[in-house]
Amino acid sequence: MNNNTAEVVIIGAGIIGASVAYHLAIRGCTDVLILEKAEAPITGSTALSAGGVRHQFAREVNIHLSKYSIDRFKNFSEEVGGHADLRQTGYLFLINKEDTWAQFQEQVKLQRSLGVRVELLEARETLKYVPGIRLDDIVGATFGPDDGFCDPYGIASGYLKRARELGVRVALSTPVISAQLHGDHLVAVETPDGLVRGEFVVNACGAWSGQVAALFGIDLPVEPYRRNAYMTERFPKFPDPIPLTFDVETGFWMRKEGDSVLFGLANAAEPPGVNLNVDWEWLPEVLEAGIERFPLLEEARLAKKQCWAGLYGISPDHMPILGRHPEMPNYLHASGFSGHGVMHSPATGMLIAEEILDGRAHSINIDELRITRFRNMSVESETNVY
C-alpha cells in the first residue's frame, strides 16, 4: 500500500473523518486514507469542543441524528473500544419570553413524538437542578434527562484507533492544497507530497471545509466562527453535576466540569475568521449575562489558564451539509455542523459510509441536509442553536 491512492480519501482527521473511516472499515471498505494537514490527528475543533449532547432540537432530522448517535455512545467501549464517557446529566433551557415558550412547547411535542424524553417545568421546579437561578421573569423551562456531555477526544481517538486496526491509513502533515478534475469527476487531490487518487473523496475539514471545497471549485457555505469556553476555579456552590443550562434569551450556557464551572456565550457580532485566541474583551458581556441569571456566579473566580477558544464551522441554516455533491458525485460533504459535530458524529459516519457503499444514505433520510437545499428560495433553519 502506498499513500498515492485509496478507494476512499478522507480529508481531515477530526471526529467526523475518524467516524467516516471507522464506519467504512467495519463494512469491509478498508482501503481508506485520511489526509490531515496537522502533525497529529484530532487537533482541530474536536479537541476544543465542550462535548455537549442533546436531543432537544427544533428540526426533526437533527433529533434523529441525536437519537441515533447518543444511543451509540452508550455502548461505545463495547462496540468501538476506547471511551465516550457519556454522562447524561441533562440539558435545561430557561425561557423568559412568552413567544419563545410557545415555540419550545411546540418543539417538545415534536421531540416527544419521536420518543425523546423531555419535561416541561415551571420556573421554581428548575431550582432542583441548579441553585440560585433568578426566576422572576422565567415563564417556563424544558429539561431533557437523556441529554448531557461526552468526551470528544475519547470518541475520535476510539474511532481512529479501531479504523487503523482494520487497515485505514492516516497521512499526517499532509494538507490538501489543490485538486485534479476531469469534467464532473474529482480524479485526485494534491498534497505537497504529490497527487493522491481516490475513487471517492470526503471533505471532513470542519471549520476549514469551505476553504477546501473551494479548491475543487465548489461553493460550500461553511465558515469558521470563534467560540470561547471560559472556566472558573473550583466552585462548589453549584453541585456536580448540574445540567448543561441555557439562558435562552441571551444564549449564556454553563455546566460543571469537575469542580469548576464551564461557561460561554456566542458573540453574534463577531465576523467569521480563524482566531484561536480567547476573547477577553468579550468576557464582561458574558459575565453580565451569566450573573444576571445565575447571581451565585458573581462569587466564582475565573481560572484564566483553563479557558480556551475554538472554531465552529457554521452553515447558513445551522444544519449540517451531508452527502454526495450533485455535480461531482464522487466528492462528498460532511461538514457544517454548526456546533453539533461531536454529538452527531456516529450518525454522520454511518450515513456517509452508506452514501459511498450503497449509493445513497438510507438509515436516516438526509435529503434536506444536501447542499442542493441552498438552491431553493427558502431554507428552514434550526432555531435551537447557541
Ligand X SMILES: Cc1cc2nc3c(=O)[nH]c(=O)nc-3n(C[C@H](O)[C@H](O)[C@H](O)COP(=O)(O)OP(=O)(O)OC[C@H]3O[C@@H](n4cnc5c(N)ncnc54)[C@H](O)[C@@H]3O)c2cc1C
Q: Which stretch binds ligand X (CB under 6 A): 6-14, 99-107, 192-200, 362-370?
A: 6-14
> What is the Cα–Cα distance from 32 to 17, expressed in whole angstroms?
11
Task: Please select the residue that binds ligand X; options are 48, 120, 171, 291, rule is CB under 6 A.
Answer: 48
Task: Please select the residue that binds ligand X; options are 201, 286, 342, 385, rule is CB under 6 A.
Answer: 342
Q: 140 vs 210, which CB is nearer to ligand X? A: 210
> What is the Cα–Cα distance from 52 to 300, expressed in whole angstroms?
22
- List residues bridging with 332 in a β-sheet: 202, 324
Q: Name which of residues 108 to 127 contact ligand X (CB under 6 A).
A: none
Smallest separation, CB 72 to ligand X (Å) = 14
Q: 12 vs 198, which CB is nearer to ligand X? A: 12
Q: 101 vs 337, which CB is nearer to ligand X? A: 337
Cβ atoms of residues 369 and 340 within 8 Å: no
Q: Which stretch binds ligand X (CB under 6 A): 136-144, 290-298, 337-345, 362-370?
A: 337-345
> What is the Cα–Cα distance from 216 to 32, expressed in whole angstroms?
20
Beta strands in the chain, from DSSP E residues, in sequence order: 5-11, 32-35, 52-53, 91-95, 119-121, 140-144, 148-149, 169-171, 178-182, 185-191, 194-203, 223-231, 244-247, 252-257, 260-264, 308-314, 321-325, 328-335
Cβ atoms of residues 326 and 372 within 8 Å: yes
Position 11 contacts ligand X (CB under 6 A): yes
Site mask, ligand X, residues 288-317, x = CB under 6 A? ----------------------xxx-----
**H-state helical runs in the chain:** 15-26, 60-74, 76-79, 98-113, 152-165, 209-215, 283-293, 345-357
Smallest separation, CB 102 to ligand X (Å) = 26
Q: 43 vs 372, which CB is nearer to ligand X? A: 43
* Lookup result for grid cell 481512529: 160
Smallest separation, CB 126 to ligand X (Å) = 21
Position 92 contacts ligand X (CB under 6 A): no
Position 58 contacts ligand X (CB under 6 A): no
Q: Of 62, 47, 76, 68, give the one whose Cα is nearest residue 152.
A: 47
Q: Name which of residues 145 to 184 contact ligand X (CB under 6 A).
A: 175-176
**Footprint on this chain of ligand X (rule: CB under 6 A):** 11-17, 35-38, 43-46, 48-52, 175-176, 204-208, 212, 227, 229, 310-312, 335, 337, 339-343
